[in-house]
Amino acid sequence: MKLCKAELPDGKPCPTKVDKGQEYCPYHLANQYAKVKKGVLAVAGTVVTGVLTIVAQSLNSSESE
Amino acid sequence: MPNKDNLIIQPNGEVASRTTLLTDAIVFDEEKRQKLIQILRKVPAILDVAKKLSEGKVYQAHFPPEVLKRIKDGSARLDNKGDGLFSAHIRDVKTGRMAGRVDLKEITPDLMGSLSELATQQTLADVVRRLEVIDEKITYVLQGQFNDRLAEVESGIHDYEQAVVASNPDVRRELMVGAVQKLNSGRNKLIKSTDFSFIDKLPRGKLGMLFSRHLDIPEYVQSKAEFVVKATRSIIEASRYLVMAYSDLNEPDSLRVSLKQVESDVEVFQDKTREIVRWLLPESNLHESLTAISQGVLPSIQDLDEVPQKTIVVEFQSKEIAPPEGV
């Protein structure tokens, strides 16, 4: 079984073995996807907030007219 | 934190590292060393040798494995040839030189039986110390989370604590037996009921991880792993007190059977813990604790089997065995 390709914060290689067909150990693989999912959520959150702000502003301006 | 496993108290009060001493030997802690000194005092041959030793120097008496073996198979009773095989050696600790040899043929089987019993008790005490070290490692990550420890194990520990201070031997035995029952039952329930199913449900592939309902899988595993550590801490505590209780009841064979009964379940427990470790940040405290757990939750039965193959070593000063005249 291969060892994980990731590096630990102190620069040492991760000592954990990988699953068959993977290059990273379960922790580092799942951690990468956690970061991706959190990133996507943050972007989606910003987009939704932006859209809602624009909608609210347009509603306000149409009311004042 | 000091590793108690590697420390022993010498007769002069100094704390020495066990690793600097013999590795294939049973070295007695202070309490058992005192008991053994009492036994040695009753042996005229040892008294004779002790009288000839220099005052103030520290000596070691080495009882080779042959002695315990012959006590166990009963052949020590028949020894009257004095062929030198059945003897203990006295060494000067500082120089390592042989200071004398004690022929043990005159020692009664009862006296030597006590030596064998002490060796077993010391081995069990060493097992308890090892469990304490694992317990300390786990306790480190569980600060402030002790309140809901499982009641049955805790109740067993209370029974044990009451037993050791009981002055009436019958009450002491009754409480000790009760403690053994609760500790065994509590430990077995914990081993069987700790939930590891979450680990089998985790996604292994990239797609599965991307679409998993858990936003951060390592964080989810960590929250589950804390419960496993908590359960394991109780299992280790139960094991530690069980070893002490069986040792107090002088029933090492029952301890052996109680360990054998949960051996296969514990193997599964350790395998699953090893799997959890792979989902945790390698440098975290939880990772370290679970790695320690995956390497052994129960004391090794082998320790008990190895007692007859070990040399018994006891340190003493001549005045402890043969007090100076006029004292």
Q: Clarify whether residues B301 and B165 are in a common domain.
A: yes
In B, minimum Cα distance to A33 occurs at B210
Q: Give the model's confidence band at B210: pLDDT under 50 very low, under 70 low, under 90 confident, else very high.
A: confident
Q: Give the model's confidence band at B279: pLDDT under 50 very low, under 70 low, under 90 confident, else very high.
A: very high
Q: How many angstroms separate the CA atoms of B258 and B268, rounded?
A: 17
> Angle, to 10 degrees, between the axis of helix B65-73 and the axis of helix B109-141?
120
What pLDDT score was predicted for residue B76?
54
Contact B219 A34 (CB under 8 A): yes
What pLDDT score was predicted for residue B311?
83
Both structure tokens of B151: 């009641």
What pLDDT score was predicted for residue B71?
63
Q: How many angstroms separate the CA atoms of B273 and B287, rounded?
A: 10
Domain that holds residue B35: 4-114+310-321
Nearest CB among B206, B212, B278 relative to A27 is that of B278
Give the number of other CB atoms < 10 A from CB of residue B7: 14
Contact A29 B209 (CB under 8 A): yes
What pLDDT score was predicted for residue B1?
35
Q: Clarify whether residues B83 and B156 are in a common domain.
A: no
Give the pLDDT confidence of B156-172 residue by residue, as tens digits.
999 999 999 999 999 99
Between positions 42 and 61 of A, the ones with CB within 8 A of B are none
Tally the domains of chain B: 2
Q: Clarify whether residues B171 and B232 are in a common domain.
A: yes
Regarding an ipTM greater than 0.85, the answer is no
Q: Clarify whether residues B185 and B245 are in a common domain.
A: yes
B298 belongs to a structural domain: yes
Mean of pLDDT over chain B = 76
Q: Clarify whether residues B163 and B294 are in a common domain.
A: yes
Query: Among residues B322, B323, B303, which one has the least CA distance to residue B26?
Result: B303
Looking up tokens 């379960």 gives: A26
Contact B282 A31 (CB under 8 A): no
Q: How many angstroms separate the CA atoms of B266 and B5, rounded?
A: 23
Q: Clarify whether residues B36 and B175 are in a common domain.
A: no
Give the pLDDT confidence of A16-55 residue by residue, as tens digits.
889 888 899 999 999 998 888 888 888 998 999 999 999 9
Contact B210 A36 (CB under 8 A): yes
Judged against a pLDDT cut of 60, whether residue B80 lies above it is answered with: no
Give the pLDDT confidence of B18-72 residue by residue, as tens digits.
434 445 788 888 888 888 888 888 877 788 888 888 887 888 888 877 776 666 6
Lowest mean pLDDT among A31-45, B210-224, B238-252, B296-310: B296-310
B89 belongs to a structural domain: yes
Q: Clarify whether residues B44 and B91 are in a common domain.
A: yes
Radius of gyration of chain A from Cα atoms?
22
Judged against a pLDDT cut of 60, whether residue B143 lies above it is answered with: no
Q: Which range in B40-54, B89-103, B108-122, B270-284 is most confidently predicted, on average pLDDT?
A: B270-284
What pLDDT score was predicted for residue B139?
58
Q: Give the model's confidence band at A4: pLDDT under 50 very low, under 70 low, under 90 confident, else very high.
A: very high
Contact A30 B209 (CB under 8 A): yes
Q: Clarify whether residues B155 and B292 are in a common domain.
A: yes
Name every residue in B having a CB less than 8 A away from some CB of A: 202, 204, 206, 209-210, 212, 215-219, 277-283
> Phi and psi for A2 in degrees, rounded to 5?
-80, 160
